[in-house]
Structures are given as C-alpha cells and as structure tokens.
C-alpha cells in the first residue's frame, strides 16, 4: 500500500463518523444575527486566538473580524463551479491538483446523481479545488486560526421534548466532538443542519472535516522515537502544545498535518470566509 | 478507558503525521504514474498552475515559463539564519559535481517564503553573498502564490509574527515537464544524490529532455 493511500485511509478511519451529533433531531435553529454579513454568511467578531501549537514568546494571534459561511459548501454549489470551470471536472483535473477519487461521489463529470447528495457537503475535493472554488466566489478559505477561533464558540443545543434549548461548552462540548470523531462513517446530513454554534455557524462539528487555507502550516514537533531527521525542519523556536489534554483539537491538527494539497478524502469538505472590511 | 481510546487514536494519527515526513510519502501523490484510470488525467506537473513571480533582477518570471529545463528547486527565505544557507550550499555542491555541458543545460530555482521582506534587491544581495551565477533564479511573489507553490511541492511552512518562517528543508530535482523526480529532506546530505538524479534526467529521460547525441556523449564521459 502506498504511503499516500495509507495516510488517507487512516485519515478516513480517524476522521470517520459523520453522523450528526444528534442523529435524527434536526435542530430548530433560532434566528441568526447576521449583521452586515453577505447572504449565507455570518459575522465573526475579531479577537484573540491562542494557538494550539505555540512557540516561545507567542501567546495569541489577533483575529480580525471576518465573515464565515454558515454551512459547508454543497455538491450542488460545487457543480456550479465545475460547470463554469470545466478544467476542474473529474476527467480534466490533473493529478498534481487532485488525486484519484476527486468528486467520486458524483455520477459523472457534471452529474451529481441524487437530490440528497446535491444538498450534502461536497467532499473528495482537493485543497487546490477548494481554493479555486473560493476564489471563484470571491471569497477565500479560512486560516486554521480563523476556523479554530470560530469553532471555540459554544454549540447551541436545540430543544427536544425532554429538554430545553441551551448551549453546550467546555468539557461537555469536547466529549461530544470526540464522540463524533470516533463514530464510523455514515451518510451526510444536508449541509447547514448540524450543530449550530453561538455565532450561527453550522456543521463545524458533526458533518465533515474542512480544509483550511494554511493546513500545511502544521509542523508537529519531531517524532519522539527519534526516527525523524533533526535537520528536517528549520525551527523558529521551541514548539509545543498548550493543552495536551485537548485531544479533539489535537486530532484536527494531526489530520491537517497528514494532508497533502492534492488529497481527496471522503469526509473532507470546506467552507469559505470573506474579509469584513469595516 | 474512553480517554485512553482517544489517546490511542491520537497516537495513530500522530504516527501518520510523522511518517509523512519521509520523502517517499509526500512524493507519492505528485509522481506516481497511474495507468489504470481512464477518467483521470495522470500527467501531474508542478506547472499545472501558473503564478507570477519576480526574480533577483526584477524580471517577471511566470511559473510555467520554468518548464522545459531540468531544475533543482528549493524554497527558502533570505533572512533564514541557518538552514537556508546550508540548502544553498548543498545545491552549489551538487552543481559543482555536474559536467559543464550538463550544468549549462539546467536551471536552479529558489522560491522565497518571505513575500514581505524578500524583494528583488534583497534577493540580489543573497545572490551576491552566496556567489551564485546566472543559472540561479531567486523568485519572490505574493503570499497566496507562494502558498500555491508550497502545495504543488508539498512543503510545510509556517510564518511567525516575527516575520520568520519554520519550514521543511527540502531540495527537489524536477524534470522538464514538471514532474518531481527527487524530493530530498534534510541538510548537508550527499550532493551526489542530486547531481546523479539530474544526470539521469538529462541523459536517460524520454520526456522533453530527450537526449541529443552531444548529451549522450557528455553523459557517457561523465559516467566514466
């Protein structure tokens, strides 16, 4: 088995589990305050993000206010892009930009094949393809810091007959995310129906993993078993993680670290962000 | 119990991330020839995207204009205190091992991570400080375009608020059509590995670097 396919299958195995966290219960979303955000996006206020991997002397990263897509990009939306840019169709995309398996859930180059699939998040897209889509809609991919910052917000817990609506945060949120990471693959829910958070962003957890603009900036410290070549990276300081107990975040960084830009993965999609210029 | 399961998963994940650093792994996607798929274009080339760059002379260089020559490539930044000067010296050693005709037919391309500080003038200083020659092109461009190159070459890097970069130390040998023939990680390794790969591409390749009689003769004498 080639290394790439091994890495991918492990990533698939780990990433697995895309049942919505609350299977069956479609949350009754409260109205979202979108502010000045364009349609389909919400405002994320600026602030400070404490990076998961830190280097000496760097406490936090300033996040400028930005707009984030409410939900992951769907197959249908991606088809619009492919139709307008046929160089990104399955049979024409070069191997350097998307590996085998690109859009393999589709019936053919320009046919998705199924209404449920149309509204599900698009997966099996490479970073190059996601990046090109984002540019096409005049947006961009979020940075890791932006994605993680938006994902810090508590999740909104929809009302069910047995409990009132509320939010879920802290350890309980972590446990929920980990439980989702550990569950085997399942059919994807329609994009925008899973786990809204306090900003009104949905699907960050419980649907698909998502590409980030700078996914290749995850540089995990050298292998403690001593296999890695100590001269293989040029370091700007000691790198460590601030919270070794935060496995959920650790897994996301490990996942990003395992990716190459041409990879296509069954449960890896994306969403876009845009600058908030005011 | 539950926590230890997660930990195990995390460790597996981590092992994957570590093993990725082995050259073969990262290379797979870019260079593996696939002959089975009919609905899949398998001519993967780093020149499948085009981006504008500028060299140390201030001359614009389109990325795809680099096509057509065997190239030694690396990513670097001129303020890099330790690693990048070594990468540069490693490439110079390999260059020196090549017979003259071979040397004259290749290009050496270094792409800067540092879109803010590495201007053409700054790259010219680096060029002079390292006593380089016109075979060397030191390129700078917009950060989004640099990221595209890093992803075409599969180079991990991170910019810090200080403006410095953490990056993998990689040297590539790329054929005329943009296929990565060698991806070598590390510093101060045997330069013969690079020069021999260049010679192999120049004298045995059946791609756009098809050998000419002169090249073959030169290659044979180099091999002796």
Q: Which residues span the domain enclosing B153?
A: 45-223
Residue B66 located in a structural domain: yes
Q: Give the distance, in angstroms, between the CA of residue B110 and the centroid of all CA atoms in the same chain.
A: 8
Which whole number is the average pLDDT over B82-97?
A: 96
Residue B102 is assigned to a structural domain of this protein: yes
Chain length of chain B: 224
Comparing CA positions, the residue from B2, B3, B135 lying closest to residue B56 is B135
| Half-sphere exposure of residue B15: CA atoms within 13 angstroms, side-chain side | 11
Q: Is B20 part of any domain? A: no
Question: Which residues are registered as beta bridge partners of B142?
Answer: none
Q: Which residue has the higher pLDDT, B126 or B9?
A: B126
- Tell me what pLDDT residue A29 has: 43
> Cβ separation of A234 and B160 shorter than 8 Å?
no
Q: Is the pLDDT of residue A273 over 50?
A: yes
Sorted by sequence, the CB contacts under 8 Å of residue A212 that are 6+ apart come out as A141, A142, A143, A144, A146, A147, A256
At residue A11, the pLDDT reads: 45
Tokens encoding B135? 């075979």
Task: Give the model's pLDDT for residue B144.
Answer: 95
Question: From the DSSP assignment, how many helices (H) and strands (E) are in chain B?
Answer: 8, 9
Reported as a pLDDT band with limits 50, 70 and 90, residue A33 is very low
Residue B192 lies in a domain: yes
How far apart CA A76 and CA A86 sit, in angstroms, is 15
pLDDT band at A57 (very low <50, low <70, confident <90, very high): low
Determine, yes or no, domain membership for B4.
no
Chain B residues 79-98 within an 8 A CB cutoff of chain A? 80, 82-84
User: Residues 138..197 of B with a Cβ closer than 8 Å to A: which?
Assistant: 147-148, 150-152, 154-162, 164-169, 178, 185-188
Helix boundaries (H) for A152-195: 170-182
For residue A163, the 8-state DSSP code is: B
All domains of chain A, ordered by start, with CATH?
3-275 (3.90.1580)
Least confident interval from A48-62, A122-136, A252-266 = A48-62
Distance CA B59, CA A258 (A): 37
A7–B29: do the CB atoms touch at under 8 Å? no
The pLDDT of residue A21 is above 50: no
- CB atoms < 10 A from the CB of B182, how many? 20
Query: For chain B, how many structural domains are there in total?
Result: 1
Residues of B in contact with A233 (CB under 8 A): 156, 166-169
Q: What is the CATH number of the domain that holds B117?
A: 3.40.30.10
| pLDDT higher at A218 or B184 | B184
A45-84: burial string, b at 16+ Cβ within 10 Å, e else:
eeeebebbbbbeebeebebeebbbbbbbbbbebbbebbee
Does B223 have pLDDT greater than 80? no
**Mean pLDDT of all residues in chain B?**
80
> What are the phi and psi torsion angles at A236 (to 5°)?
-100, 10
Q: Output the six-digit token pair for A179.
A: 């439980």
Judge whether A89 and A110 are in contact, CB under 8 Å.
Answer: yes
Give the percent of chain B with pLDDT over 70.
72
pLDDT at A23 over 50: no
């Amino acid at each position: 088995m080639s290394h790439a396919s091994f890495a991918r299958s492990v990533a698939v195995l780990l990433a697995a589990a895309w049942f919505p966290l609350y299977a069956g219960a479609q949350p009754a979303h409260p109205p979202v305050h979108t502010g000045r955000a364009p349609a389909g996006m919400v405002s994320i206020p600026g602030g400070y993000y404490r990076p998961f991997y830190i280097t000496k002397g760097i406490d936090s990263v300033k996040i400028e206010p930005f707009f984030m897509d409410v939900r992951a990009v769907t197959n249908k939306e991606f088809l619009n892009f492919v139709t307008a840019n046929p160089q990104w169709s399955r049979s024409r995309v070069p191997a350097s930009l998307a590996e085998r398996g690109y859009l393999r859930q589709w019936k053919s180059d320009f046919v998705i094949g199924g209404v449920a699939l149309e509204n599900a998040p698009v997966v099996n897209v490479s970073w190059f393809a996601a990046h090109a889509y984002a540019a096409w809609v005049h947006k961009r991919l979020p940075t890791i810091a932006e994605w993680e910052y938006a994902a810090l917000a508590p999740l909104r817990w929809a009302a069910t007959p047995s409990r009132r609506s509320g939010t879920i945060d802290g350890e309980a949120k972590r446990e929920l995310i980990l439980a989702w990471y550990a569950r085997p693959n399942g059919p994807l829910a329609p994009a925008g129906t899973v786990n809204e958070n306090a900003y009104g962003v949905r699907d960050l957890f419980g649907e698909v993993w998502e590409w980030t603009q700078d996914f290749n900036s995850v540089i995990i410290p050298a292998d403690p078993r001593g296999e890695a070549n100590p001269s293989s990276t040029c370091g700007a300081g000691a790198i460590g993680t601030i919270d070794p107990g935060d496995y959920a975040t650790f897994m996301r960084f490990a996942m990003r670290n395992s990716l190459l830009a041409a990879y296509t993965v069954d449960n890896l999609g994306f969403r876009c962000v845009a600058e908030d210029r005011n | 119990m539950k926590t230890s399961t997660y930990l195990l998963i995390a460790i597996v994940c981590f092992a994957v991330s570590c093993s990725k650093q082995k050259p073969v792994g990262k290379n797979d996607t870019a260079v593996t020839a696939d002959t089975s798929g009919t609905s899949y274009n398998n001519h993967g080339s780093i020149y499948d995207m085009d981006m504008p760059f500028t060299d140390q002379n201030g001359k614009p260089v389109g990325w795809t204009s680099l096509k057509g020559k065997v190239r030694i490539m690396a990513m670097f930044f001129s303020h890099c205190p330790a690693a990048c000067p070594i990468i540069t010296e490693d490439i110079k050693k390999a260059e020196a091992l090549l017979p003259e005709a071979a040397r004259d037919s290749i290009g050496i391309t270094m792409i800067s991570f540092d879109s803010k500080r590495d201007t053409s003038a700054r790259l010219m200083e680096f060029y002079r400080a390292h006593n380089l020659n016109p075979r060397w092109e030191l390129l700078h461009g917009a950060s989004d375009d640099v990221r595209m190159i890093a992803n075409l070459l599969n180079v991990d890097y991170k910019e810090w608020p200080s403006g410095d970069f953490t990056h993998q130390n990689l040297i590539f040998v790329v054929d005329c059509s943009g296929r990565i023939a060698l991806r070598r990680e590390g510093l101060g390794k045997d330069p013969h590995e690079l020069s021999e790969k260049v010679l192999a591409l120049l004298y045995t390749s059946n791609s756009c670097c098809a050998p000419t009689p002169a090249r073959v003769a030169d290659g044979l004498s180099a091999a002796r």
